[in-house]
Structure 1
Amino acid sequence: MQRCPNSALVVLDSMEVPSPSDKFQYATWCLLITQARDKNYIKHTSDSLINIALAYFEKQDDPVWKASTLYYEGRVNQDMNNVEEATDFYLRARDVAKNTTDYRLLCLINTHLGTLYAYRNLPDLAFEAYKNAHTYSMQLKDSTFISNTYSALGRVSMLNNNLQEGLDNYKKAIEIAEQSGNLKSLTLAYGEISTVYQALSMLDSSMYYLKKSKKIEEKYNASALSQTYLGIGETYYYMGLSDSAYYYLEKALNTINPYTKQDAIHALYYLCRDLGKYEDAIKYNEQYWVYKDSIDNINRSSEIAKIQAKYEREKLLNINNGLENRILWGSIILLLIIFVLIFFYQRELLKKERIIKESRKQLQIRLNQLHENESIIHENENLIGVLSIQMEEYVGSQDI
């Protein structure tokens, strides 16, 4: 799955699907087939399989399986433009995965969560997520993840209009990707650093990186070409080379990515307007607003922020409830301990009182016996005295 996801997908597609009666095997297959499709960049169009996996693994004690399932629920919902649901699943996956050492999964969760925030112009939330992703990538010591997270941090720097910081992050991303030979990470950094140079009006530098990205993508990653064509077209537009700009902007339209398509149409509108092609400009303007409305419905930045705030509130509430429950049970246990201590103390006290009473009783008996003995001794002494007198009288009578 990690090294050859295309082979994993072939195996999973060709194998006999486990019986639903074997819940573990069936749920595992549902999760793995979703994961394999995601790693092969196949757009998810249904959540039926991942829902089966989640229904099983959410009830299990293994946090890695549970977090993985929640993460892929997020990926599926993100592809289906269910942004609020995707955000909620990513947040839940993040909190479950925190109890693991699966840094790869933690990096992926935070990266996608950050991208959701970045596309919806929520830079503070995006920065926090991307920063976490970068920390996990460093712990993972994976050059691909490290390069990608540097590019992500560069993206946030651009959102905050900190161009120099963005430039520094992208250069680090490029350096690591070039050293490791990771072409996908390299084209990502090439493409995004060009936007910084555009903002700095350094158009030659922007074009330099765009052409490097184009050269790699044409050979290895044709699916990413539309975004590069868009960047080249925009740069040519800023250079005043209208024909070249029009050529590449038209090529950029050959994509299913609504963001790329919207930006290309918007650029074509300005280009046609500047060239006096007003009918074409009106056509592109109408198309732009259609795509903008569609993307605005997908984005709903305020809703995403509300979900984040709601999730944090609920988590805090759960923590407070848990704390209150612990305090309550702690109080109950403390009262029970106090009750037990009082019970044993009272029992010991009663025992001692009984012993004292018994001792007093025995003492009284002995005192009574002593008193009786003293009376007997006194009587005996009197009797001895009488007998002694009688003996003396008897002895006296014998002497006479």
Structure 2
Amino acid sequence: MKSNTLAILILAYCILVACTRTSPNAQLVQADSLMQKFPDSALRFLQKIRPEELNSLEDRAYHALLLTEVKDKNFIQQTEDSQIRIAVQYYDSIKDIPMQAKSYYYWGCIRRDQNNHPEALKKFFTAITHAQNISDNKLAGYIYNNIANLYLLQRLNEQADSIYQITERLAIQEKDSNLLADVLSQRGMIDINRGKEYYSEAEQKILLAFKISRHIAQRNLMAKTAYSLSLLYGRMNMGKEAVEFAKLSLNNQDNVKMLYRGYLLLGDAYYKTVQYDSALIYLNKALYSRDHSTKAGIYMRLADIAQKQGKLEQALEMERKYSAYLDSAQQKQQGAAIVITEKNILIQRKQSEFKTNLGQLYYYITTGTAFFLALFLVLLKCYKKKVIYYKQKEIEMGKKLEEVLRQKNEQISFLQKEIALHHYSQTEKQTLKEELHILKTERQALLKESYEHSEVCVKMKRIIQSYKKTDKSNERFDEEDWKQLIAETDIRWNDITIRLAAKYPLSQDEIYLCCLHLTDIPTSHFRYLMECSRDAIYKKGKRILEQKMKCTDKSISLREFLEQFL
């Protein structure tokens, strides 16, 4: 009994633990709330939290993510990824997609700071996949921006600009002024690299970015856009403006890493305004930079100044250092590695999608095939029923028409005999003749209806409609069809083809043309059935009238002549 009670208590405890979800540490939530507007305060707050205060895996992962994020926002270069790995492993294990997106994004930022651009690109692509799955367009914008920055660093300008355009659309959609200003500034830099003909476009983009950064009072963004403007005006030989914006960039720069590039920019601007002493001050300040590309630019300018001042030995020494640092910077270029990484990522993604969807594909193919086969069989059965129904209707209609025609013919024959054999008064004869005329008219209408429902007439209409729609037809009017047309014409018009052939020396083709003229088909459509030009049809009709039928009246047509012959 005691063992049963103990088992129940243990089971109840397990259920309680499983169903209870601990809420995140309140201090972490508070630090997260400070992240966007006060990243420096958030950093100090997080640094005060002691490890023993983080009681759960969730808290430790959340703390690791926030600490990585806040350092990135405070422009602290991170080369160690042990913290962010804690977050990635935890959020991957519980499949928390929003947090997975952020974790992989900041892991990519660390790889970027390590100058391991191919690995950074892998992390960013993983992050963008998660962000798109939850439609987090704001985060997606920042991820795309970082991807484009990596391309731009490797001078893959076209690829960078295409990604920046996506980022720009997302920034506008999310009304993110910070991101929009940053993107416009970067796109302006691409235009600068394209050459003089693009300087005007570059100026428009960067001035708009500078205006936005001033409006939102974002110091680092102002520093970045002012830097871009100074670089542009330096290229445009507007030295005064280049110096002004270079100073503005330095005054607003909080990022130490960017500070040395700012010194180089201001030194370069002073050099272009022939203020060599001022240029030397800032160029020497910039020498503390560890970036080989920046140092190459510094030594290039120092060599130029030494040469201008007649210090040839110093100029040669500066040029030697310039070449050394330039070679080193070029060796660090990872453009080819990034392109290979991108291809590998796309291949892996496609393979993963293929494996994931293979089962579904088989299911959809099997289900779809079965469905369409069943649908086809049903439609085929319906079609056959419909064909049989219409054929029966045609047969019934044909029989009715034949019966009515037989009756009309008998009535006409009877009236003709009555008029010929009996001596009726003039009034009675006139009445009988009128009755006979009505019967003949009704008979003609029945014959017309019978002709219009005939197979040959229906086929002629199909061929004509096909030519009118597509200028071609899969069917053609063959010899059997012409024989059927002659038979139908003779039924309708009292053996007219026999009478025409007896009176005029007409060829087979000329008989065919006469039959077509006795239908209701326009003359312009005859060419579709006789497979010749419209002009040939008119010439043939004229030749029949003039040479075969000896008709001298030029105003009469073949159709009119045939109607008189009836």
Shorter chain as denominator, the TM-score bin is 0.7 to 0.9
Matched, 1:43 2:63: no
Q: Structure 1, unaligned stretches of length 5 or more?
A: 341-400
Counterpart of 1:16 (choices 25, 50, 60) is 50
Matched, 1:172 2:212: no
Return the letter of the residue paired with 2:264.
L
Q: Structure 2, unaligned stretches of length 5 or more?
A: 1-34, 375-566
Greater relative contact order: 1 or 2 (C-alpha under 8 angstroms, separation 6 or more)?
1
Q: Count the aligned residue pairs.
A: 339
The 1:82–1:225 alpha-carbon spacing in structure 2 relative to 1, beyond 3 Å, is closer
Alignment of 1:155-304 (within 5 A): 155-161=189-195, 162-217=198-253, 224-304=258-338
Q: TM-score, normalised by structure 1?
A: 0.76
Distance 1:35 1:133 in 2: 20
Partner of 1:134: 168
Distance 2:371 2:183 in 1: 54
Distance 1:186 1:304 in 2: 30
Task: State the identity as a percent.
Answer: 25
Partner of 1:94: 128
Return the letter of the residue paired with 1:302.
A
Return the letter of the residue paired with 1:32.
L
Counterpart of 1:33 (choices 55, 64, 67) is 67
Matched, 1:110 2:110: no
The 1:330–1:308 alpha-carbon spacing in structure 2 relative to 1, beyond 3 Å, is same
The 1:258–1:7 alpha-carbon spacing in structure 2 relative to 1, beyond 3 Å, is farther
Task: Give yes or no for contact 1:93–1:109 (8 Å, CA) kept in 2.
Answer: yes
Per mean C-alpha deviation after superposition, the further-off stretch among 322-331 and 119-128 is 322-331
Distance 2:112 2:239 in 1: 34
Task: Give yes or no for contact 1:17–1:29 (8 Å, CA) kept in 2.
Answer: no
Per mean C-alpha deviation after superposition, the further-off stretch among 75-84 and 131-140 is 131-140
Return the letter of the residue paired with 1:331.
I
Q: What is the CA-CA distance between 1:321 and the residue it aligns to?
A: 4.5
Matched, 1:52 2:86: yes
Distance 1:182 1:19 in 2: 34
Partner of 2:112: 78
Q: What is the CA-CA distance between 1:320 and the residue it aligns to?
A: 4.3
Q: TM-score, normalised by structure 2?
A: 0.55
Distance 2:246 2:351 in 1: 48
Task: Give yes or no for contact 1:18–1:25 (8 Å, CA) kept in 2.
Answer: no
Partner of 1:121: 155
Return the letter of the residue paired with 1:138.
I
Distance 1:49 1:322 in 2: 31
Q: What is the CA-CA distance between 1:242 and the residue it aligns to?
A: 2.5
Structure of greater Rg: 2
Q: What is the CA-CA distance between 1:79 and the residue it aligns to?
A: 1.0
Distance 1:222 1:69 in 2: 25
Per mean C-alpha deviation after superposition, the further-off stretch among 68-77 and 147-156 is 147-156
Return the letter of the residue paired with 2:173.
Q
Q: What is the CA-CA distance between 1:248 and the residue it aligns to?
A: 1.8
Q: What is the CA-CA distance between 1:86 and the residue it aligns to?
A: 0.7
Q: What is the CA-CA distance between 1:339 and the residue it aligns to?
A: 12
Across the aligned residues of Structure 1 and Structure 2, the Cα RMSD in angstroms comes to 2.8
Alignment of 1:306-321 (within 5 A): 306-321=340-355
Return the letter of the residue paired with 1:270.
D
Return the letter of the residue paired with 1:84.
P
The 1:198–1:287 alpha-carbon spacing in structure 2 relative to 1, beyond 3 Å, is same
Structure 2 residue matching 1:247: 3-state secondary structure: helix
Q: What is the CA-CA distance between 1:63 and the residue it aligns to?
A: 2.2
Distance 1:184 1:272 in 2: 33
Q: What is the CA-CA distance between 1:77 and the residue it aligns to?
A: 0.9
The 1:324–1:283 alpha-carbon spacing in structure 2 relative to 1, beyond 3 Å, is same
Q: What is the CA-CA distance between 1:31 and the residue it aligns to?
A: 1.1
The 1:100–1:258 alpha-carbon spacing in structure 2 relative to 1, beyond 3 Å, is farther
Partner of 1:64: 98
Alignment of 1:384-399 (within 5 A): none
The 1:18–1:158 alpha-carbon spacing in structure 2 relative to 1, beyond 3 Å, is farther
